[in-house]
Structure formats: C-alpha cells, structure tokens
Amino acid sequence: MQSLPILRDVSPLGRIVLGGTVAVSLLSIVLEWGVGVHGAPIFIVSAAGILGLAYVVGISTERLGAFAGPHVGGILNATFGNIAELIIAFFALQAGQLEVVKASLTGSIIGNLLLVLGASLFLGGLKNGLQRFNAKVAGLDSTLLVLAVIGLVIPATFAASLGAEAGIPRQAESILVAVVLLILYFGNLFYRFRHPAEVLGNELEGHGGPSWTARQALGVLGIAAVFLAVLSEQLVGAIDPFIEAFDLTPFFVGVILIPTIGNLAEHLVGVQLALKNKVEFSMAVSIGSSLQVALFVAPVLVLLGIVVGKPMDLVFTSLEVAAVAVAALITALISLDGESNWLEGALLLGVYTILGVSFFFLP
Amino acid sequence: MQSLPIVRELSPVGRAMVVATLAACLVALAMEWLLHVTGTPVFVASAIAILGLAYVIGLSTERLGAIVGPQKGAILNATFGNVAELIIAVFALAAGQLDVVRASIIGSIIGNLLLVMGMSIVVGGLRHGIQRFDSKIAGLDSTLLVLAVIALFIPAVFVATSRAAQPGSVGRIDESLVIALVLLVLYFVNLIYRFRHPSELEPGEAHHSGPQWTRRQSIAVLAIAAALLAVLSEELVGAIDPFVATFSLTPFFVGVIIIPTIGNLAEQLVAVRLAYTDRIEFSIAVATGASLQIALFVAPVLVLIGLAIGQPMDLAFPPLEVAAVGVAAAIAALVSLDGESNWLEGSLLLGVYVMLAVSFYFFV
C-alpha cells in the first residue's frame, strides 16, 4: 500500500483513516452481498464506513479547492461539504422513509448549531479564554438562519391551516418555497464571492489537503462518492431492523444518529479550529454547514423527490420546527456580540441535550 | 424586646418589621390551631406573615454573606434568595396542587422580569433620567433567559405533538426529569463561570451587608424563620381552595400573580430602592437574577422533589404560561441589551405585565 502515490502524500493519521475506511467499506459490502447478513450489524458497519468516507470526500474536496483557487474552491466546499448527508437522505427518500429524511435534515441543522458549535466554543473557551470574532459575519449568518427557520415555519403553519384536505396545494407550496430557498442560497454564495473581505473576515485558509494532482483528487472523490452511495443504500435498508433491535424511534435515528454519521468529520474540524483559537473559521464551518443543509440540501431533496416519484414537502413536525427555531435563536444571540466563552458553549450543549432527550422520548 | 441583642442591631424599620412579622406569625398560627379558623382568613394572615419572613430571611442571608466573604455569600444568596417560593411550592406540590405550582413558577419569572424590573426602571428613570449599565452582563443574562424559555417551550411542544404523552406517562416525566437535570447542571456551570470571571461580570460588590449579627445569631434567625415559613406555607397552601372560592378567582391567577408577590415583595422593594439610588445595574441584576434562579434552579428542583415525594411534576406548561415567559424574556432582553434605560422602557414592561395578568385573571 505504501507505494501507492495517493497514499504517500497523506499524513500518517490520514493514511490510517483512509486505509481503515477502504477496509470497513469493503467489509460492509461483503457482509451484505457475500455473507448475506442483514439488519443491525449492517447498519453499524455501513455507518462506520460512511464516517470515513465523509472524511475522504473532505480531503479530496479541499485538495481540488486548492487547485481551483479560493472562489471555485468555495463553491466546491459549499457543494460537497454535506454530500454525505445528501446521499444518505436521497436513498432514504427513495426508500420512502420520509420521516427519517425530514428528521435527518432537522438533526443536521441543530447538530451543527448546537453540538458542533457548542463543543467548539466550550473547548475553545476553556483553552483560550474569551474568544473574539467578526460580529458582522455572524450577523449575516444569523439573518440567513432566520430565513431558514421561516422556510420551515411557514409551510408547517400553511399545512396546519389547510387541515386535512392538504394534497396538491401543500406540495406546490413546498416546491415554490424550495426554489426560493435555492435562489437565496446561490444569491448568498454570489454575495460572499463578490465581497469576500467584508464577509469572510480573512480568507478561509483551507489547509490545502494532501498534495494530490487534480486527476488523483477527482479520482478519489469519484470513488468515495460511489462507495458512499452503495453504503448509504445499505444503511437506509437497515434502519428499520436497527430501530427494532435497539428500541429507538425513527425520529431519534433521524435527528441524532444519521446527522452524526454524516457530520462527524466536520465536527472534528470545527473543534480543532476553535482549539487553535480560530473561532471565526470554526463558526464558519458549523453555521455554514447548517445553513447549507437548510438552504441547499433540503430544497434539493424536495426537487429530487419529484424526480424519483417520492414527493416530499417541507412540512416538518411541530417539535422539529421548534427545535430548529430555538437552535437558531440561541445561536444568533450568542454570536451577535462578537465574543464567546465556555459558558456560552455549555449553554448550546445544554439545549442540544434538551432537544435530544425530547426526540428520544417522542413515541 | 429592646434588650434582645438580635433586635438591638437592627435599623428602626427593620426592628418594626421583625416584630410585626413575629406578631403576624403568631396570629396566623393561633388562628389555625387555637381558634380553628380555616379558609380565607388563614390565607390572608399567613400570606402577611410570609411576606415578613421572606424579609427576615433576606436580612440574615445578607449578614451571613458578609461574614463568609463575597464568593460564598453569593452562593448563599443564590440558594436562599428564593427559598420562600421554594418552600411554598414544595407544600403546594405535596398537596397535589400541580397547577398552582407551575403557575407560581411562571408568575415568579414574569413578576421579576416585568413587574420588578419595570417598577425599578420607571422609578429610576423618573428620578435620574437615562440610566446606563453594562450591556455585557445583560447579554449573558438574556442568553440564559432564552435557555429558560427553551426549557419550557420544548416540553410543551413535545406534549402537544407526542401521540402517547398522556398526563403522567413515563416518557413525559422522563423527558422533564432529564431536562431538569440539564438545567441544574447549566445553573451551576453558570455560577462557576461567574465566580471564575468576577471582574468581567459582577459590577463591583454592593453588599449593604445587613445587621451586625454574629454568625451564630444569623444562622439561628435563618433557621427559625425557615421553620416558621414552612409551617405557614402549609397553612397557606391548605387555604388556597377556599380562598379561590371566596373571591371567585382561578387557581392560575392565584399561582401566577398572588403567590409570587407574597414570596417576592421583599426583593421587589430592594430592587426598586437600588434603582432609586441610581444603581440600576444592581437593580436589574436582582430582577433578572431572581427570575433566572426560579427557572434554572427552583423549577428543576421541584421536578426532582416531586418525584421523591410521589407527586411527579413535568415541565409541560400550558401554552398561555409558555407564551407569557416567552414574551417577558423577549421584551426584557430587548430593553436591557442596549445598556440604557429610561422610564418609557419601564412602563412598557409594566404594560406587558398588566396584559398578562388580565389574561390569567380571565383564564378558565
């Protein structure tokens, strides 16, 4: 393995993760297709494989971004940053697991805002004391978060007012809302590229990834995405037996487990940045990721749902809407003053626990 | 009486208060146990006595705080500051008056945020014009208030949407139990943060340190007052139903407006006096601090005590109560975040309090 040029250019830790990921992915595929195992074991092994694949997708995107320059690199990061969630959600959608898809969108948003940001601010604050960041950037992000909340609250209210005879207007409204969200997502990207100094603070200095050539990076990205698709399908197929085996609810799996699987790599990056006292970048990772899920992944899933004949609307359950709303509210409040400390991180973690418990006990 | 060392160290007003409190306690006890009066008169007499006892507890806590130093003193204040509410609520809980307990938690929070803070800002603003304070402290307090609102809001939504969340069902109690533990942890984490970063958050100590009692005298006064408070709280709680019937009130109104006023009046006077002497920062700290303490300490402790004594209480408050705390926290945060206050802002807070009180008065 040592002689493979792709592996040679990766740090020792990265090499272990890369090797482990390939091994676990193959193991998972063999278990399902070769040995014929089903159910909870497949769920766990595929989850482990996806964890690693999300990391590999991250490295190769970074590398590609380093080639393409900051602007295109930003678009790449913005598109592939949540590719694991998108692929898992797509297969769940195809399997008709609408509850799980919606729950995983909710979970991704609140996980990034509360768990990732909370852990980052808590650990960063303990290590570095009071941390400062650009309140202007935080202000724009907060406004977008409010937009995301509106994009969830209005369809839910609309559906509640429609009552039982939902049907066509409900679906049509969701499609239009999804299109608006997508337009605003791209408007936001566009604005940030045209006014980088004002919005991005100091350029998001990607740590460049390994020194692969463009072709190698593309190759790795392509292979990882294919593996991701196969494992996601296995994972989704094993959700029901997994729920039964551990006596969980689909909400809990969707809100807590699946987003953690898709996001763990990002979690670690966010915390690492905060420990290095780069709290601004850390916030860009966590808040940016939740904005991307709300304004890009969710609307794309609505559109894909129509294409694959499994129409999904944006009508989330009350608890989900409430969860996203309170997460956005407390994040905005904490970030608007341009300062953070470990207590604020602890508060975010506390809110995450409160929400997690509620989803756990929701029958 | 003049010769008792405990009384001698008090200011004339304090002396009158202590004596009157003792008298009121004796009257209330005599009515219940000797004259066998029940119902409304007992409610009124014990309410008056509890008002006084809350003041006496405040005095002895302040004194103890001055003896043990600012850090431990702050913990003492943080623990005994709302002990009257806590004791009343425990007896109401034991009597199965869950609606009244929940309502009194809500009433304490909105009373402190709207009535106390509103009065303080109006009085201070009329006398001193625009008053300034550190908006950083206000910012942290606002964030904690939002946390408190979240902790009330999420269980309410949970109960409203969950298919099997019948009153008393296992998931419902368990959810509230874990949330209560999270709140308690965050409450203590918050205390730790404030002790470790005092310069950043506390506006230079302002203990008026109470009467010159010795440590033993203070502890004795505190213990006696707490014991009397417990006895009178039980009488008060036992007389709630007849009182409600006599004045044709709702349990909600008694819980949201009357009981918190009884437990809080002493604190209210302190806050208004601070604002009057142009120490608006302390005044706001007293008001928000008390409401935070209710939300993050008293409420979760009641959930735990409820489980212990077999009266499980969850944190699923009715929508009007959740809305009341939500709007109170929002407007209090808006008013305090700019670091300035004037009498108009104070009257806005009072206006919101009146609107909420009216709604609870007519709520059936």
User: Residue A3 above 50 pLDDT?
Assistant: no
Q: Note the pLDDT tens digit of each residue in B106-125.
A: 999 999 999 999 999 999 98
pLDDT at residue number A337 = 82
Which of B11-25, B26-40, B122-136, B207-221 has the lowest average pLDDT? B207-221
Q: Which of B181, B186, B197 is the best substitution to test chain A (most A C-beta atoms within 10 A)?
A: B186
The mean pLDDT value for B189-209 works out to 65
Q: Which of A4-8, A58-62, B5-9, B93-97 has the highest mean predicted lDDT (pLDDT)?
A: B93-97
Give the pair of three-digit tokens for residue B121. 């800002």
Percent of chain B with pLDDT over 90: 20
Find the mean pLDDT for residues A252-275: 84
Would you say residue B292 has pLDDT above 80? Answer: yes
d(CA A179, CA A177): 5
Distance CA A114, CA A317 (A): 20
Interface residues of B toward A, Cβ cutoff 8 Å, are: 136, 139-140, 142-144, 146-147, 150-151, 153-155, 157-158, 160-165, 171-172, 174-175, 178-179, 182-183, 185-186, 189-190, 193, 197, 200
Q: CB B162 to CB A326 under 8 A?
A: no
At B61-79, the pLDDT tens digits run 777 877 877 667 666 766 7
Average confidence (pLDDT) over B96-100: 87
| Confidence (pLDDT) at A283 | 85
Mean pLDDT of all residues in B289-317? 90
What is the per-residue burial (b if ≥16 Cβ within 10 Å, else e) of A35-45?
eeeeebbbbeb
Q: What is the DSSP string of A16-75?
A: HHHHHHHHHHHHHHIIIIII---SHHHHHHHHHHHHHHHHHHHHHHHHHHHHHHHHHHHH
pLDDT at residue B68, rounded to an integer: 77
Query: CA–CA separation, B183 vs A151, rounded Å?
Result: 30
Residue B1, pLDDT > 50, answer no
- Residue indicated by tokens 């239009």: A176
pLDDT above 90 as % of chain A: 22
Chain-centre distance for alpha carbon B163: 34
- pLDDT digit string, tens, across residues A177-201: 999 999 999 888 888 777 765 555 4
Give the residue on B whose Cα is nearest the Cα of A325. B150
pLDDT mean over A351-356: 94
B337-357 per-position pLDDT tens digit = 888 888 899 999 999 999 998
* pLDDT grade for A343, boundaries at 50, 70 and 90: very high
pLDDT for residue A15 is more than 70: yes
pLDDT beyond 80 at A319:
yes
A-B contacts at Cβ under 8 angstroms: 88
A363–B139 CB contact, under 8 Å: no
Q: Do A347 and B154 touch (CB under 8 A)?
A: no
Residue A352 pLDDT greater than 90, yes or no: yes
Which pLDDT belongs to residue A69? Answer: 67
Q: Which residue of A has its CA nearest to B148?
A: A351
pLDDT, tens digit (0-9, with 9 covering 90-100), for B252-278: 888 888 888 888 887 788 788 888 888
Mean pLDDT score of chain A? 83
pLDDT at B202: 52
In chain A, which residue's Cα lies nearest the Cα of B172? A361
Q: Is the pLDDT assigned to residue A26 strictly greater than 60?
A: yes
Under 8 Å between Cβ of A295 and A314 = no
Q: What is the DSSP letter of A11?
A: -
**Binning pLDDT at 50, 70 and 90, where does residue A111 land?**
very high
pLDDT score at B198: 66
Sign, Cα dihedral of B157, B159, B160, B164: positive
Residue of A nearest to B333 (CA): A333
Rounded Cα–Cα distance for residues A232 and A274 (Å): 30
In angstroms, the separation between the Cα of residue B221 and the nearest Cα of chain A is: 36
The DSSP string of A26-40 is HHHHIIIIII---SH
CB B147 to CB A334 under 8 A? no
| Most confident residue range from A108-122, B151-165, B215-229 | A108-122
Nearest-CA distance from A288 to chain B in Å? 22
Q: Would you state the pLDDT for residue A202? A: 44
- Cβ <8 Å between B153 and A326: yes
CA distance B179 to chain A (A): 5
Strand partners, A132: A339
Output the CA torsion B103→B107→B109→B113 (10° steps): 160
Which pLDDT score, from 0 to 100, does residue A324 have?
A: 94
More confident residue, B206 or A346: A346
Q: How confident is the model at residue B205 (pLDDT cuts 50, 70, 90)?
A: very low
- Of A50, A51, A81, A54, residue with least CA distance to A65: A81
| Chain B residue whose CA is closest to A337 | B139
pLDDT at A184: 92
For B190, the closest of A330, A343, A362 (CB atoms) is: A343
Quote the pTM value. Answer: 0.84
Give the model's confidence band at B279: pLDDT under 50 very low, under 70 low, under 90 confident, else very high: confident
**Cβ separation of A326 and B183 shorter than 8 Å?**
no
| Average confidence score pLDDT of chain B | 83
Q: Are B182 and A350 in contact (CB < 8 Å)? A: yes
Q: How far is B209 from chain A (nearest CA, A)?
A: 29
CA distance A41 to chain B (A): 28
- Kindly list the residues from chain A whose CB atom is less than 8 angstroms away from the CB atom of residue B172: 361
For B151, nearest residue in chain A (alpha carbons): A354
Interface of A with B (CB under 8 A): 130, 317-319, 322-323, 326, 329-330, 333-334, 337, 341-344, 346-347, 350-351, 353-355, 357-358, 360-363
Nearest-Cα residue of chain A relative to residue B170: A361
For residue A49, give how far its alpha carbon lies from the nearest alpha carbon of chain B (Å).
Answer: 32
- The pLDDT, as a whole number, for residue A1 is 45
Residue A349 has pLDDT above 90, yes or no: yes
Under 8 Å between Cβ of B194 and B201: yes
User: Which parts of chain A fold into alpha helices (H)?
Assistant: 5-8, 12-29, 40-80, 83-94, 98-110, 117-128, 135-162, 167-194, 196-200, 214-237, 239-246, 250-252, 258-275, 279-292, 298-307, 318-335, 342-361
Which residues are CB-neighbours of B67 under 8 A, at least 6 positions away?
B215, B218
Q: How confident is the model at residue A53 (pLDDT cuts 50, 70, 90)?
A: confident
Over residues B148-175, the pLDDT tens digits come to 999 989 988 888 876 655 665 667 788 8
From the DSSP assignment, how many helices (H) and strands (E) are in chain B?
Answer: 18, 2
Which residues of chain A have a CB within 8 Å of the CB of B199? none
Q: What is the mean pLDDT of residues B30-49?
A: 83
